């Protein structure tokens, strides 16, 4: 069996000072690309996400959430209030390529580990900071938590049906998007460092990531007299898109239908009620709730497979709405080879996802689970003379 090709970031050392999700998500992506990630944790409890439970399942003493976002990282336990441990960290930073931190504004300065201080130790370092709301304005000291960031970003008013009230995403989208933005900035800065020899300070926040996430809708709003979008009252899926865009219940499941001319649907469904709207595209928005209710009543009587057999050959953009069970069992998912099993010496075994990209045709994979608190402290101290 041939050896796996060297990954793009192999040989780079990343120091992750972060907790919870945003920073660790960024370092996870760097780790997937080959970087060595050394996670700095408090000796007494470690990263708080070790106890951030999504379910009541605990593996090896930690939450599945911690395992998912910290796989294949190393853990160095340091007490940053201890002068000798702080000195050890500073020495380690002189040998690092990247450092990430997501402390509340002001904390990293009090520790003497802000960008100015660290770049004085290591001018080539790429330093990434993630905050809740940036460094200026009235929200700076507010908790940088995902749900609260969603609330302040206006994002919730794009979800759900009109009249339903604000609907948050069921995932930590602010954390993940901020982590992805930080990773993008880090990678760009590493490229620039290869040209100039100098590091950089990458800064982003949960709020900035969520504003960027909404760039299409916000651009429409800003250039349309700042009119707020109106969500559909029935089966809303996008505040700005007309019927039939939405998800419809069938006799045995759910069917998603995207952008499709109403006239074409009327012909395929044999629905004379839709005929009045066939050649009136403006009505597809102004009357979208009426149109969607007509479609919903029609498709509810037959199975999802029945409708797919009619719609897909006609090149209608549609899909069965899958559960996770159906996703994992599907051939489309299996073909991507997105799952892996990682293990640890204390017999911890975790089934989790793999990197969402391929390098030269190969998807990166690892076999090491998330670390115990300070699991690698002795070996790291010996290697770097800390």
The domains of the chain, with CATH numbers, are 13-213+339-384 (3.40.50.10540), 246-329 (3.30.1540.10)
Alpha helical stretches, state H, the chain:
22-32, 64-69, 83-93, 107-110, 115-121, 146-153, 173-196, 206-213, 215-222, 262-269, 283-286, 288-299, 304-311, 324-329, 331-336, 377-384
Of all residues in the chain, what percent carry a pLDDT higher than 90? 96
Residues 10-19 as b/e (b if ≥16 CB within 10 A, e otherwise) read: eebbbbbbbb
Phi, psi of 243 (to 5 degrees): -60, 145
Residues 211-240 as b/e (b if ≥16 CB within 10 A, e otherwise) read: eebeeebeeebeeeeeeeeebbebbbbbbe
User: DSSP secondary structure string, 253-287?
Assistant: SEEEE-S--HHHHHHHHT-GGGGGGTT-TTHHHHT
User: Is the CB of residue 39 less than 8 Å from the CB of residue 371?
Assistant: yes
What does the alpha-carbon distance between residue 344 and residue 70 come to, in Å, rounded to a whole number? 13
What does the alpha-carbon distance between residue 163 and residue 117 come to, in Å, rounded to a whole number? 51
Q: Residue 1 pLDDT > 50, yes or no?
A: no
Q: Residue 333 pLDDT > 60, yes or no?
A: yes
Of all residues in the chain, what percent carry a pLDDT higher than 70? 99
Maximal C-alpha separation, the chain? 79
The mean pLDDT value for 28-50 works out to 96
DSSP bridge pairs for 41: 77
Output the average pLDDT for the chain.
95
* Confidence (pLDDT) at 42: 97
* Confidence (pLDDT) at 5: 75
Cis peptide before 175 (omega within 30 of 0): no
Q: Residue 307 pLDDT > 80, yes or no?
A: yes
The mean pLDDT value for 12-33 works out to 97
User: Is the CB of residue 25 less than 8 Å from the CB of residue 175?
Assistant: yes
Sign of CA dihedral 56, 62, 63, 68: negative
pLDDT band at 54 (very low <50, low <70, confident <90, very high): confident
What does the alpha-carbon distance between residue 138 and residue 206 come to, in Å, rounded to a whole number? 15
Show the tokens assigned to 28: 């996870």
The mean pLDDT value for 126-147 works out to 95
* Confidence (pLDDT) at 97: 98
Q: Residue 30 pLDDT > 50, yes or no?
A: yes
User: pLDDT (tens digit, 9 = 90+) per residue, 254-302?
Assistant: 999 999 999 999 999 999 999 999 999 999 999 999 999 999 999 999 9
- Quickly tell me which residue has 């960024």 as its tokens: 26
Residues 165, 167, 221, CA angle at the centre, nearest 5°? 80
The mean pLDDT value for 159-164 works out to 94
Sign of CA dihedral 303, 308, 310, 316: positive
Residues 127, 105, 153, CA angle at the centre, nearest 5°? 95
Q: Any idea how long the chain is? A: 386
What does the alpha-carbon distance between residue 282 and residue 220 come to, in Å, rounded to a whole number? 17
Beta-carbon contacts of residue 122 (< 8 Å; ≥ 6 apart): 93, 94, 95, 96, 199
Rounded to two decimals, what is the model's pTM? 0.93
Q: Give the single-character DSSP code of 233.
A: S
pLDDT band at 3 (very low <50, low <70, confident <90, very high): low
């Amino acid at each position: 069996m041939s050896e796996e090709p060297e990954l793009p970031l192999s040989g780079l050392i990343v120091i992750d000072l972060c907790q919870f999700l945003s920073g660790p998500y960024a370092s996870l992506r760097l780790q997937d690309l080959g970087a060595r990630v050394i996670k700095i944790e408090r000796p007494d409890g470690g990263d708080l996400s070790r106890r951030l439970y999504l379910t009541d399942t605990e593996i090896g003493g930690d939450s599945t959430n911690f395992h998912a976002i910290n796989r294949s990282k190393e853990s160095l336990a340091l007490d940053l209030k201890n002068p000798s441990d702080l000195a050890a960290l500073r020495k380690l930073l002189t040998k690092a390529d990247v450092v990430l931190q997501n402390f509340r504004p002001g904390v990293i300065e009090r520790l003497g580990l802000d960008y100015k201080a660290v770049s004085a130790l290591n001018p080539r370092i790429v330093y990434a900071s993630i905050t809740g709301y940036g460094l200026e304005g009235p929200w700076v000291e507010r908790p940088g938590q995902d749900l609260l960031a969603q609330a302040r970003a206006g994002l919730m008013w794009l979800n759900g049906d009109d009249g339903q009230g604000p609907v948050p995403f069921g995932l930590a989208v602010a954390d993940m998007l901020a982590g992805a933005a930080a990773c993008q900035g880090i990678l760009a800065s590493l490229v620039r460092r290869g040209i100039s020899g100098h590091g950089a300070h990458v800064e982003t926040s949960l709020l900035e990531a969520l504003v960027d996430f909404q760039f299409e809708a916000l651009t429409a709003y800003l250039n349309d007299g700042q009119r707020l979008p109106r969500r559909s009252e029935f089966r809303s899926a996008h505040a700005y898109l007309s019927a039939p865009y939405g998800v419809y219940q069938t006799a045995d499941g759910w069917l998603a239908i995207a952008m499709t001319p109403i006239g074409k649907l009327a012909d395929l469904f044999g629905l004379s009620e839709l005929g009045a709207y066939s050649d009136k595209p403006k009505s597809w928005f102004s009357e979208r709730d009426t149109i969607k209710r007509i479609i919903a009543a029609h498709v509810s009587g037959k199975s999802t497979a029945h409708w797919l057999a009619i719609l897909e050959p006609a090149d209608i953009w549609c899909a069965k709405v899958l559960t996770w069970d159906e996703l994992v069992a599907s051939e489309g998912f299996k073909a991507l080879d997105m799952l892996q099993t990682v293990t640890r010496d204390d017999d911890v075994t975790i089934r989790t996802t793999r990197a969402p990209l391929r390098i030269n045709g190969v998807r990166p994979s690892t076999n090491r689970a998330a670390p115990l608190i300070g699991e690698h402290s002795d070996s790291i101290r010996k290697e770097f003379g800390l």
